[in-house]
Each structure stands twice: as structure tokens, then as C-alpha cells.
Structure 1
């Protein structure tokens, strides 16, 4: 759907009606494209139609096949069409919409294209397709560093702006979408102030909501119990040496943030890294995760024999993060350790709250970055096979703060009870009484 043929209101009404239409259960992400220049026309997709990757590739080649272009790729960690329905203001008060700048940009653009359901083909499908089409490497920028960037319009540019998805750690989903919308507005205002032609794309790195597809033919005939469909669990990251698997890591979330700003959290676990630079031997292991967004995580581990415990232990010596030309280092010796034949597991490993990762004070940028790993498990030695972790040594102690408080209060109440019983047992009855018939006691008065 191209810009001159339909009004902005018509395009957005069609987009949100398509959001409510039931389609296939395959994974999908929405895609919005608008430009300060013209765009080739695109036939309006029918309700429930899923745009394939081949169709998107053909259209992008028609847009960027010739000449130089500056593309702004607003890539959110997760995005689904339901997010527009829930947090948009199309069916309610527009003042409550979390996409005010986005709607205004599409309205004021020369041309725009809306794909409510784009077939999701992988974490790096859209960035890789744009990189191939433009013949330009993506440059990771943000709204604060963009004004200091010199953009050469005589060559094609692919500017990547990562946007976080809500994790409910600090803000609600609506607040996160509003912060993302402010970032989009700030970037677009900069491009307008410099009078730079651009084409902007807003999409998701992966769907935020996936409806599992069940085959009707495989369902048993007759009555059956309702049961929840188990969600697919992503496999762990395994590094294999010449002698077999030697390092394994798994995490639900690998959140990193610059300047300790919650709205800038990026979940690296949503991307597929390469392991170039990883090494391992009997005493040291190094796991290097190179992500498409330009971030690099290095986990350095070592194992030593301790005579006191008569066994070998492995420690996570340091975690190094590289991004945007800066490097930060964090020490894990404070509490990330386990027997050499075990793995280490912790529900939350962070550098700022109950910190198990301590920023390196000698580094200039370590204090500017924050790390938070959710449901984190790592093993650098003693892997028996490449599919399962060994027995996990958990970071949670047997006695928590609440348990200690309860034990101390119980001990205090017990002491009070024992003292009270002791006082009661010491009470004795009087062994003699005054005789009422006897002479009264006279007390002489002194004048």
C-alpha cells in the first residue's frame, strides 16, 4: 500500500483491522516503512495475508536497487501486531496511544508501506536482507550519538537503532513503547533538521507473541482433556573444540544497558551469535559471543585445585562487553564459582543489584554499562556431552535473609517464654500468716 493512493487514516485503519484478523499460526512480525521520498506502489494485501520473505526481498530491491539511500532501521527486540492493538489509540482515545511520533511520521511522510504480517524467517533476516540490498554494513547508532555522526549521502547508509521490548523489570510495556516512540521521534527530528532524505523501517527482531500451530488431523477424535502446549525451549550455546564440547551457556535473557538507563536495555539472548575467538583447555576456557548488533560478550573461566577442599573448582573470572567502540569489564570472582565437574546456575546475575558481577574500577567505561542475566547457567569444564549440563551449583544459599529473620524471631520469642515460665515457677506461697485474734502491733509515736 503506497502513500499517494490512500490517506493516512485509511492506511492505519486497514493495518489495525488486519491485526484483528485471524490468519495462519506461523510466526509473524509487522513492518512499517515510510520515506521522505517516493516509494514504488505495492498492492494492498488482503486481510489475513502473510507476506513472504521472497516478496519483501523483491520489493526492497525495487526500492533500493539503484542509487544511494539512507535507511533508518528501528529494530525492536520483539514486536507483534497485537502490540499495536493493545497500546495504540486507534480504537480508543488517541491521547493514550503509545505510538504518537510513529503515527505522525507515517501521516506526514511522502509515501508509506504497511505489512501487518511479515513471515518471520529468523533473528537477522531483515537486517541481512537490507545489508545485501544496500551493499552497506549496518552501523549501530542511538538518538544521543546520531548528531555527532557524519552521514555521507553520496553512498548508501544503513543506520541501525535498537529498541528494547518490555521485560517488566523497571517499567510497564506501555512506558517502554512510549520511550521507544520518543527515540523514533528524536531521530526523525534530527534527520529533518539536517534536511537529509531517508527511508525508515520499523519492525521486530522476533515476534513478541507466537500462537503455536496444531495440526487438526493429529488431534484425537472424541473427548479429550485440555492441556497446555509446551513452549519450545531454545537450545544452549555450545562451543566444540577438537576434543568435543567444552563450554556450554544458557540464559533466558542477556540484558545489557548503557548509562544505566532502563529504556535502553537490549536482550542479546534474542540474537544468534557466532563463537569466533572461543578457546578451551584443561585449565582455562574463553567463550566469545559475537552478535549481529555489534555487541561482543567474553566469558573468561579458569579452574584450580584447592587442597583445603581436596577438589578442583572453576570460577568465572571476568565478563567483558564490547559495543560502539567501548569496552567494559566485570569480575565474577565474588560469587560465580562451582566444583569443576558441576555447572553454575543463578536466577539473576547482575552488576548493580545484589551484584555478582563487579565492575572493574580500572576501566573507564565499566561503570557506564549494566548487565543483568536472567536464569543464567554456564559450564566451562567437565562436559560429558553436548546436550546437557552437569549437576548445577546454584547461587541461592540454603538460608535466605527471610529464613534467618524468622529463626531469630522464633529464638527471641522462645527466650521470652522460657523467662516467663521461670518467673512463674519461682512464685511461692506464704508459710505464715498474722493471727487476727492476737494483740495488734503497736507502733509508738515519737513526739
Structure 2
């Protein structure tokens, strides 16, 4: 038995042995807070190798950015990012065929890519907030927007080495009542990786590939094991009951919303309210395959009994930041809608004004930014209100640049009101409306009045041009004779 195991280890490439060995010594207690990250380059591409961290060390966001920067400085700048919803080291130790633990590995394409790469980089423990920021870090280093693709779309795309590209392939991860479901999904993801790498080879374009996840899967795996052993049956039943009660609360909330007006979103710093937000409609849309996909955020933000998640929000005397956190928005597990405001003194008007500097969308590590400071502003002691704030119909929000991902998004705020400073008593201050003083109705009235004044002036001018006769008939005297021959 021992010689057979030794022979099997000899068949595994050196990078893969190091990778699986590091995975085997990690502590189980830390797996719930970290995800692995694997980086490799295309066959025939030579880049300087980087030393992986010591066993048990968790790579943070700054250290991960340093690894990526060094890899992209010397390696290809066409990046293929395989971003899985969930992944933990147990997925490799259970299904990767490590040390004879499993006879059939579900990662043949990944293992083949690691064998062919001259300098693969394996980071077994990356904090999942850092892995969430991978897209943003790559976007900043490559100075290009991410392209979310699938193998069919990639086969129609023509890449070149002169301009960098960031290609993102989202991979699913699901856990059912059967442990084999995870194995089948991982095997399917590996097939997708193989298809993508095959297409890249046919185009003869060197690339840098990264395989990581947004969240660890340890928690989901533990629940599945518990369910398979029979200990999780009551827990799953209870969770089902929670869902039923949740649907009932949602139905009651909608009934109450139809009957009355709900309150604004309120963020407090200590016991004092410092930011208020209200709208009758809040929705976002993304452009995919030539059509817009909409998602209504109003039920998750406003309403009786609705408490939106505001972690990340902050406020002080000069800056305010309201962060609305959502889940599962248009296929993005993590989604944030951020309102960034500031106030300062303007010497021209001799008073303080506050502006809505930016409206930001953060989703799975990508950031889309709309500038709003040119159109959305009000005196510092007032709130700001507008019937419609959008970036596509009479836009008040403008994408930061032509390459910003905001060009693929639409944001719509109906009957919008916001105040980030000088909030008193938890209520909005006097509202400065976006409609100017000279509304269309006022302009129409002014133009009509001006036309009438011009007509009256012309009439008075014509009347003033009339001259009276200098001679009149005297009934007692001779008649005036007017010669007809002249």
C-alpha cells in the first residue's frame, strides 16, 4: 500500500503537491473566514516566481494587492478571473484527489493548467473581504473595466496583447441534501475552466488566470454534513418555518405600505440622527446581452418594519456617507448603494452648501461611480428634494468616466429627498427643490405677458401718431372750400 501511494504522489506535479500539502496543514477553525486563491500563467509564459505565505498565514487585502501587482508587472495583462460564489480548502481536500484520499479528482483541468504553468502562485488562505476586492484591484491595475462573460461569448471575442482585458467568469456553488451535489458542481466548474483555457489557447494570446471565490463554503458544507447524518432535520424544518413566517411578514408589510406612507431611512451616530433618505421608488438596471434587466430595491429599503443594513455608513461635520447593503441583486451576491455627501463654505454666496458628490454601486468587488455634485446641491441647513433623479432621463447623475462600469448601469430615484447635515429631531429640514424658480409654467406666463405688453405698446404708439385737423367748419360762416383739382 505504501509503494502505491508513493507512486501516486510522484505523478502529481511539484506545484500541486505544495498546494495540497499547505491545504492539509491549515487549521479547521480558520476555514470559515478565508478562501483559497490560485494564480497561474499560460503555457510558454515565463514570469518571476513569488514566495507563497507560510502555512496558517491569512493574506489580507494589501498583501494580496502586492501579489497581484508583481504578477501583472512581469506577466500577461490579459487576465482571466474565475470567480466562484463559495469555496474553501475542504473542497480541494475532499474532491481534489489529494494523497489518495479520492480516486477521482474533480479538478483535472485545473491541475493540468498548474502543471503547464512555469510559476503558479497558490495562496491557501485569503481573507474573504480581500477576495471580494480582487475585481476592483485588477480594475485599478489594468485600468480597464471588467467584462462578465461565458465560454460562448469568449469564442466570439478577439483579444490582443497590446491592450489589457479583464474577463470575469462567474462560477456557481450550491449545496443540497446530498454531498454529491457539491462534487458535481465543482466538476462542472472545472469543465468551464477547461473550455475557457482551450479557447484562449486557440487565440494564441498569453494570459494570467486567477481562481478564487467570494465567500467560504465551510458553513454550507457543515450544514450539508449535518443534514446527511440526520442531525440537521429539525434545523432545516425550523429554517423552513422561518421562511414561511418571513413571507407572511412580507405580505403584511405590503398591505401596510398600500394603506399609509412609510418613514425615511435613518442613520444615527450615537443617539443623534445625522442622515435621512426617502423615496417612493428606488431601482437599478444593468445592461446584459443588449437588454436592460431591472431590480426594484424599494421593498428592501423602505416600508413598515423594514430595517435596511447600513453598516459602513458614517457622518461628521463636513462629510456624510450612507451605505445601503443588499444581497442577491441582479446576480450579484453582495451589492451596495452608496451616497457620498460633503459640505463646505462658498465665498461667492457667503454661506455653506452641501452636495451629493457621488452615487456609487459596489458589487462583488467592482465599483461604478456616478457624479452628482454638478446638479444635486442645497444649502447646508436644508434638505434636497427632486421628483426624479436618474442617469438616463433628464440625467442628474453622470458616470465618472467613459470607461467606468457606471455606463452599464441605470439608477432611478423617484420622489427623492435626502439630508446629510444639520438634521434636527429626526425630521427633514426645509427642502430645496431641484425645480428652478423659472419653471415651464412661469416661463409660459412671462412670455404671454411680454407678448401682450408688446401689443399694447404698439397700439399706444399708433394712437400717439394720430394728428387732429387744424381747421373746422363754422356753421355761422362760409363753408370751407376744398379744391378737388389738386
TM-score w.r.t. length of structure 1: 0.48
Structure (1 or 2) with the larger CA radius of gyration:
2
| Structure with the larger helix share | 2
